Structure 1
Amino acid sequence: MNPDSRAAFVSGPPPAKKRFLPMLGHTRGKRSAVTCALKCDNACSKAVCNTSSNSYFRDIVSAELSRRSALGAGAAGILGAAVLTLGGELPAAAADPGRGSSKPGRLAFTPIAPVDAAVDSLDVPGGYGWEPLLRWGDPLFADSPEFDFDAQSAAAQARQFGYNNDYLEILRQPNGKKGLLVCNHEYVNPQIMFPAAPATAAEEAQRRGIFRNAVGLSVVELERSSRGTPWSYVRGARLNRRITLDTVFELTGPASGSDLLKTAADPQGRYVLGTLGNCAGGSTPWGTVLSGEENFNGFFRAGGTSPEDRRYGLGSDPTAMGWEREDPRFDARTGQTRNEPNRFGYIVELDPEDPESVPRKHTSLGRFKHEGANVIIARNGKAVAYSGDDERFDYLYKFVSKNKYRKNNKRHNMTLLTEGDLYVARFTGSSPAAEIDGSGSVPADGGFDGRGTWLPLVEHGTSAVAGMSVEEVLVYTRLAADKAGATKMDRCEDVEPNPATGRVYVACTNNSNRGTGTNAPVDEVNPRRENRDGHIVEITEDRSDATATTFSWNLLMLCGDPAQGDPTYFSGYPQEKVSPISCPDNLAFDTAGNLWISTDGAPSGIGYNDGLFKVALEGRERGKVEQFLSVPRDGETCGPVIHDEESMVFVAVQHPGEDGSYGAHTSYFPDYVPDGAVPAAGTVRAPRPSVVQVFRQETKPGNGNGNSGNNGNGKPEKPGN
């Protein structure tokens, strides 16, 4: 067995395992060293990619809110997405976040207590139940084989729901009985996917084929009996689709056809196979879905010595997945495939209504570790997309289309992200530097706030960065943003605009390197040294115009657990009355404009499972955090989708039981047996990443055919099977 293979990590002796787990013993909170190795190639154990002298804080972006876009009527199931326009007068509360009345929203619940990280359950409030909607391996097509742990194959996985679901969208028809689910599949964990280590090189190669088909995206039709009741997926439906590493993508925008994107297999530089590291995403006002290619670098073996390679975290060591051993395009050390990594790291656009359509990668939005992208329509009709680069000390970006949105003209609107202006954010604070000492103490003026500027990278079709062409700016966007002087941020993840106020919210997950050694010091928008818990930035574009190049900002919260003495801030709300929250990741809103936050890392190293939280944004309860849901052991909360008008919430539970191994699992989610007992031999034997739907118990009489809700005390109730 090749000691450099992923199999060595799965089943090899301790020294081999440690080689792949440099974060072992160094992670914060409940974050698994296995997740670090598989998801982001141990990024935190390596040198910081951004060694520029920029010391400013990153900007926050507005996101297009079509969480509740409709799956249109008719046999074709055409999407009719609601358009959020940032323009005109905002509600009075938008001028002053402290004014206005608190809006509880339609989804009333009693917050749950944090759940210990050793507990393997999915917990929801009293009166609610849950069940999986789709699980890893569920057959999507009429000819798909049933999932079988002992009979997995690459061909079967290409016809089944993928692994580690992340971004989630639930689109609905007006009658509420038909829907469409779209989600990403970010990465795989071989050590808990298979019953035994591969015995031969052929078996090992076969597993790599399974891994290739387990990532990408899924599109799945849904149905239910009536509005507000739980969904079922439709096996064999016309719109069902799997996007894998064998799917052809078109490269669009000014960098398409560039010498920087050409390879021996694609001498024109216009088409690429597959998408990698897909994390968050967004829906567009014209009915398509966006997906961000995030941690793509870990899939490539590259030279690792050029400034471009170093800035993007591309190394020369064998990769964990080992795909370079069968497919030369993942070995980018030669001239034939040197540019292959340049063809990943973009925003992907998919038309879920057309299973024959060619998905696209938009170079106009730049190349970096896109957490996702969200689109709004500005007052002048232009599409504006916001995206964060999820790496320590990287930046926040904004794209403004050249052309304008046309209502009911999907064909035209699908060209809007192919041409336009690209900006990166610079932040400044309003408080004296002496008051930002790294402790998280609130400045004398009572809050963290200031002004910001969108710095041009590409404007009016030309490069705004000295010494770089437009193509170079769009392929080496991080280097261009370094030169522009952007603010270094604490890992900007999801960015979403509030449909009730027009303000935009950015989740900064964490950055334990902030203010240490030669790294960037604290500033008012990143005010805590060794920021392990993360924070939320709130932005208001000047003149309520999404195309403006200036904005104001404030911090909604500094996350953490006040009960443990963490330096926290919740916009003045009493700290002793909030649910502890750490490592904010994905964001969403309910119909009342409340913010919902899913977490990835759990609070403050004190050993809680990750969860989903609601945060009030207006009135006396602004900053109040309430926990709605807790995911199983080792898992991450992704999604989420809030349909509070139906009393329904959806989350994608990623990497449950990540720290286990086959035969010694730490989770059996979602196929629990009564009273949390370990499944008997011959039944369920491993956790399965799944999309979960949460609903009021009265909408699902009895336990149905799936798992019922937990009772909020960390123990699963007895589900029917």
Structure 2
Amino acid sequence: MTQQISAIAAYDDGDIDTNRSDNPHLNDLIASRYSRRQTLMGGISAAATAVFGGAMLSACGSSDPDEAPLVAVTAGANGTATSGQKVTLTGSVTGNSLSSGWTQISGTPVTLTTVSPTVSTFVAPSVTSTTPLVFRFTGTNLSGTPSTADTTVTISAAVLGFTAVAKNLNDVVTVPAGYTATVLYRLGDPIAAGVAAYKNDGSDTEFSKRAGDHHDGMSYFGLAATGTAPDPTNNTRGVLVMNHENITVPYLHTAGATAVGGVRPEAEALKEIECHGVSVVEINRTGGAWSYLQTGALNRRITPMTPMAFSGPAKGHALLKTVYSKDGTTGRGTINNCANGTMPWNTYLTNEENWVGYFRRDSGDAAVRTAAGAAKENVSLARYGRSEGGTGNNGWSTVVAADASSTVYSRWNVTAKAGLAADGTADFRHEVFQYGWVVEIDPFNATSVPRKRTALGRMNHEGCVIGRTVVGVSPAFYMGDDAQNEYLYKFVSTAKWAAADASNADRLAMGDKYLDAGILYVAKLAADGSGTWLPLVFGQGGLTAASTVYPFADQADVLINTRLAADVLGATKMDRPEWTAVNPATGEMYLTLTNNSSRTVANTDAANPRAYSDPKTSGGASNGNANGHVIRLRETGDTSEALSFKWDIYAFGAGSDLDAANINLSGLDATNDFSSPDGLWFGLPSNITGTATPLMWIQTDDGAYTDVTNCMMLAAIPGVVDDGATKTITNTIGGATGTQATRIGKAPGTALRRFLVGPKQCEITGIFSTPDGKSVFVNIQHPGEGGNAAAISSSWPASQAGTPASPSRPRSATVVITKDDGGVVGL
């Protein structure tokens, strides 16, 4: 069949004239505009420009906004930066511009800060690999038509962004070029209305209303505009909470400490007692300068005389009963507070370290306890270092109080009195058991009573740091027991983490929830790089009444005698476990092992592998593990609830001139060699220093390297567990020689660098930052501790402004470190 094409409808695109209006054609517009202006503009080019706009207006010189020429813009060349660096974007506009500015087009989002219409800045975001960010600069002409240009900034992983500070013996805090250290809060500074300025001549009193001595562990809490609640984002107003570990007695009194017939004056003892404890003080930043507020509503001092409450399994236990607390539920004060802990529910943990030395125990005490049926108390006292003899640190127990009913001084004598109640309710024989705890403080309630958290055990608590929190998982808290050959601990809460608890207004109730019930573990490290957490649970692992080490009665007894329980379980003896810190990106836990003079060639192990002689040029060689090391572990499955882990040694302290094969195992050089690591802290996850590749700070408390340099603080960007290799070293002390295999992390190299050197005879300890990481608070402890009022050996902090005309008594103090360009400190 032949198809008839005419019978098939053809395609119709609708292209017909249906507009019968009188609106003009384009040609009409051109003609009209041309006829109106050609005599002024000189021809058809002006008519065409008026219709077709910007590209042709630039040469017209028109003052009519409807006919404004486009502007010409540039965005600068492409660039590079590393995470944490401050980046400046600079554009340019040629021609009359209505507005201009920068926007981000692609890549990891950043916050742009406008400096001027053509200049914006941002902080390079945290990345683990090379990441391009594209930014657009836009300029608009007078009629609002935009012109744009793009530039790309390629971001690489964070690196340390400063030149290493040289080792030195100067009497100032030395920081890198481009940084400033400012003194903020010093021994004796008044923190209450009506308290006089500090004279610093030994005559000052009222230390319950002044800054204490030996500033140590420290936390910053952002303060809300109301002045009574937390604001975790506030970078300019906050509460600084810090420990006052100890005192430098010669500088506190007019001519040093005195005693008549072995009896200390009450006024001197009271001053010394009040100089211990904790400060809570409001601070703010105005016009770029930080200061503390003397009359802050939250200001207070917590001292060895402040009322305390016990919580957890040991609350009310027989060993906590005294004449002051007959039911064992309360006590007085906290002392020798070293490192700290910052809880996500906005409380502060202070930790009682070398507390036992403050107590007096007279000859005959052991016999009285034995006769009273408490012979095992003698075992406990010996294990915690309180033998018979001596009057205790500073001799406070010798004071004869003006108030005959006062027990402020007699409490420091824990000698059991024959003929008094055997349960301890008639004397202070059990006062010593009221110390050695983690203490929780609510910095936002000046009337709250601090709580001693007994579930976390009793020891020389250096610090207590919480690991990463994961919803639905029990959080872990890591603690070192700071004494030679003591142990590393972890407490795992019974409670599962709930994110809402971070903002709960009843902060101490959150402490009750997470810190009063759980399991305390002690670490056992194996030579192959594995490790096990051993539970300190009554009835398990030999922790029973049948133990030949110590007959445990119950779980409270296990916690009160944590060291003895860890002995029974066979935990690994460590080289003075000090500060702990948790990498917020990986969850790995780092621990400083300061040094150990009792480490010998015969008793090294894989986790504590060195025994050698450090050839100090003055004072003779230091033997053992004189320079310390930093160890780290990673929980199995990266969970806080794990019962096993892997470990290696991140870095070994050593002078760069020491034997690289057997002592300077981390390959340290003049930019990063150090000795006796102590303070340890990671940047906050609220800023670049705590994300992706976090920044870690190491502080030193040194005695082996002080002929070369004052104590210091270093910055590091560490790797991960198992990024190095195993190595066998040869240890030698005198005629003793032996080999030891160990596990060494990747050499830190340029990712470890000296950031700060302190003044003479000081220790660098205590560090925290504002949420944005742009202000870092650091404590300088006991400068000039080797001198006295008649022979001042440091004038710091007076010397920070220049050498004073005459020596000034040194004072422990907090400094705040900022970057001169306003950037993030350290990167």
Contact kept? 1:363, 1:418, Cα under 8 Å: yes
The match for 2:795 is 668
User: Aligned residue for 1:35?
Assistant: none
Encode CA deviations 1:154-195: one digit per residue, 9 max, x unaligned.
Answer: 5x1111111111001122242422111000001111112223
Q: Residues 668 and 597 of structure 1: is their aligned pair in 2 closer, same or farther, counting only changes over 3 Å? A: same
Query: Which ranges of structure 1 fall in alignment gaps of 5 or more residues?
Result: 1-90, 94-100, 431-449, 701-721
Structure 1 residues 244, 622: closer, same or farther in 2, change over 3 A? same
**Counterpart Cα distance in 2 of 1:292 and 1:248:** 16
For residues 634 and 198 of structure 1, the distance between their equivalents in structure 2, rounded to whole angstroms, comes to 20
Inter-partner Cα distance in structure 2 for 1:185 and 1:594: 26
Residues 427 and 378 of structure 1: is their aligned pair in 2 closer, same or farther, counting only changes over 3 Å?
Answer: farther
Q: Give yes or no for the alignment of 1:494 onto 2:579.
A: yes
**Pairing partner for 1:506 from 568, 572, 591:** 591
Alignment equivalent of 2:305, drawn from 240, 246, 271: 246
Per the alignment, residue 163 of structure 1 pairs with 213
Secondary structure at 1:309 match in 2: helix
Q: CA deviation at 1:378?
A: 4.8
**1:330 maps to which residue?**
412
Correspondence 1:348 to 2:439: yes
Deviates more, 1:172-181 or 1:537-546: 172-181
Alignment of 1:453 with 2:532, yes or no, is yes
1:188-241 CA distance string (max 9 Å, x none): 111122232467759832111001111100011111126xx3421111111111
1:104 lines up with 2:155 in the alignment: no
Higher relative contact order (CA 8 A, sep 6+): 1
Distance 2:165 2:341 in 1: 29
Name which of 669, 676, 682 aligns with 1:589.
682
| Aligned equivalent of 1:610 | 711
Name 2:523's counterpart in structure 1: 425
What is the distance in 1 between the residues matched to 2:661 and 2:306? Answer: 47
Paired position in structure 2 for 1:634:
761
For 2:526, what is the secondary structure of its paired residue?
Answer: strand
Aligned counterparts of 2:665 and 2:755: Cα–Cα separation in 1: 20
The match for 1:196 is 255
Give the counterpart of 1:526 among 608, 613, 624.
608
- Per the alignment, residue 386 of structure 2 pairs with 314
User: 1:384 maps to which residue?
Assistant: 476
Distance in 2 (CA, whole Å) between partners of 1:616 and 1:602 is 26
Q: Kindly indicate whether the alpha-carbon contact (under 8 Å) linking 1:457 and 1:464 is maintained by their aligned counterparts in 2.
A: no
Q: Is the 8 A contact 2:456 2:491 kept in 1?
A: yes
Residue 420 of structure 1: how far off its partner (Å) = 1.1
Deviation at 1:596, TM superposition (A): 1.0
Aligned to 1:140: 191
In the alignment, the residues of structure 2 paired with residue 453 and residue 222 of structure 1 have an alpha-carbon distance, to the nearest angstrom, of: 43
**Cα contact 1:150–1:194 (8 A) shared by 2:** yes
Write the mapping of 1:347-496 to structure 2, written as runs, cut at 5 A.
347-376=438-467, 377-378=469-470, 380-409=472-501, 410=504, 411=506, 412-415=509-512, 416-430=514-528, 450-458=529-537, 465-467=543-545, 468=552, 469-496=554-581
Give me the whole-angstrom Cα distance separating, in 1, the residues matched to 2:592 and 2:358: 26
In the alignment, the residues of structure 2 paired with residue 114 and residue 102 of structure 1 have an alpha-carbon distance, to the nearest angstrom, of: 30
Instruction: Percent identity, please.
Output: 34
The answer to whether the 8 Å contact 2:471/2:498 transfers is no
Deviation at 1:643, TM superposition (A): 5.2
State the TM-score, normalized to the length of structure 2: 0.65
**Conserved in 2, the CA contact under 8 Å of 1:230 and 1:693?**
no
Which one of 241, 250, 256 corresponds to residue 315 of structure 2? Answer: 256
* TM-score, with length taken from structure 1: 0.75
- Larger displacement relative to structure 2 (652-661 or 616-625): 616-625
Give me the whole-angstrom Cα distance separating, in 2, the residues matched to 1:221 and 1:337.
Answer: 36
Contact 1:560 1:567 in 2 (8 A): no
1:562-585 deviation digits (Å, cap 9, x = unpaired): 22436667886x444652111010
CA deviations over 1:611-631 (Å, ceiling 9, x no partner)? 100123139874542100011
Aligned partners of 1:605 and 1:334: how far apart in 2? 43
User: Residue in 1 aligned with 2:167?
Assistant: 114
One-letter amino acid of the structure 2 residue matched with residue 356 of structure 1: T
Question: Given that residues 397 and 411 in structure 2 are in contact (C-alpha distance below 8 angstroms), is that contact kept between their aligned partners in structure 1?
Answer: yes
Q: Per the alignment, do residues 115 and 577 of structure 1 end up closer, same or farther by CA in structure 2, a change over 3 Å counting?
A: closer
SS in 2 for 1:404: coil
Offset, 1:538: 1.3
Do the aligned partners of 1:302 and 1:309 also contact (CA within 8 Å) in 2?
A: no
CA offset at residue 644 of structure 1?
A: 9.2
Deviates further, 524-533 or 466-475: 466-475
8 Å CA contact 2:217–2:338 kept in 1: the answer is: yes
Match of 1:601 in 2: 702
Check the 8 A contact 1:103/1:616 in 2, yes or no: no
CA, structure 1 residues 673+182, in 2 after alignment: closer, same or farther (shift >3 Å)? Answer: closer
CA contact under 8 A between 2:251 and 2:789: conserved in structure 1? Answer: yes
Note if contact 1:142-1:235 (Cα within 8 Å) is conserved in structure 2: yes
Cα gap change, 1:481 to 1:621, in 2 (>3 Å): closer
Contact 2:654 2:675 in 1 (8 A): yes
Structure 2 unmatched runs, 5+: 1-126, 130-154, 223-230, 367-377, 400-408, 418-426, 546-551, 612-623, 684-688, 724-745
Greater displacement, 291-300 / 592-601? 592-601
2:809 to 680, 686, 689: 686
Residue identity in the other structure for 2:527: G
Q: Give the letter for the 2:521 counterpart.
A: Y
Q: Supply the distance in 2 between the matched residues of 1:265 and 1:147 (Cα, whole angstroms).
A: 34
Query: In structure 2, what is the Cα distance between the partners aligned to 1:224 and 1:380?
Result: 38
Q: AA paired with 2:577?
A: C
Q: Deviations over 1:524-582 (max 9, x none)?
A: 1000011010011111000011111100001111111122436667886x444652111
Q: Structure 1 residues 360-369 or 642-651, which shifts more?
A: 642-651
Deviations 1:107-139 (A, max 9, x none): 7211111113xx322111112121111000111
Moved more, 193-202 or 166-175: 193-202
Structure 1 residues 621 and 509: alpha-carbon distance in aligned structure 2, compared to 1, 3 A threshold: closer
**Deviations 1:336-374, CA, capped at 9 Å, x for gaps:** 211100000000100101111000111110000000101
C-alpha root-mean-square deviation of aligned residues, in Å? Answer: 2.7
Q: Which residue of 1 aligns with 2:266?
A: 205
Tell me if the contact between 1:216 and 1:242 (Cα under 8 Å) persists in the aligned partners.
Answer: yes
Q: Distance between the aligned counterparts of 1:621 and 1:400, measured in 2?
A: 32
Q: 1 CA distance for matches of 2:586 and 2:682?
A: 11
The 5 Å alignment of 1:221-300 reads 221-225=282-286, 229-300=288-359
Question: Residue 610 of structure 2 aligns to which amino acid in structure 1?
Answer: R
- Distance in 1 of aligned mates of 2:594 and 2:695: 19
- In structure 2, relative to structure 1, the CA distance for the partners of 1:477 and 1:353 (3 Å cut) is same
Distance 1:380 1:462, change over 3 A: farther
Question: How many Å apart are 1:481 and its aligned residue?
Answer: 0.6
Residue 580 of structure 1: aligned partner: 673
What SS is found at the alignment partner of 2:455? helix
Which amino acid is 2:572 matched to? T
Instruction: Tell me if the contact between 1:425 and 1:455 (Cα under 8 Å) persists in the aligned partners.
Output: yes
Is contact 2:202-2:253 (8 Å) kept?
A: no
CA distance in structure 1 between the aligned counterparts of 2:715 and 2:385, rounded to whole angstroms: 35
Which whole-Å CA distance do the structure 2 matches of 1:364 and 1:139 have between them?
Answer: 35
**What is aligned with 1:220?**
281
The separation in 2 between residues aligned to 1:583 and 1:151, in whole angstroms, is 32
The alpha carbon displacement at 1:399 in A equals 0.7
Larger radius of gyration: 2
SS of 2:595 mapped into structure 1: coil
Letter in 2 for 1:363: T
Go from structure 1 to structure 2 and tell me whether the alpha carbon gap of 1:621 and 1:390 turns closer, same or farther (over 3 Å shift).
closer
State the one-letter code of the partner of 1:171. Answer: F
Alignment-mate amino acid for residue 108 of structure 1: G
* Paired AA for residue 104 in structure 1: A
Are the counterparts in 2 of residues 149 and 195 from structure 1 also a CA contact under 8 Å? Answer: no
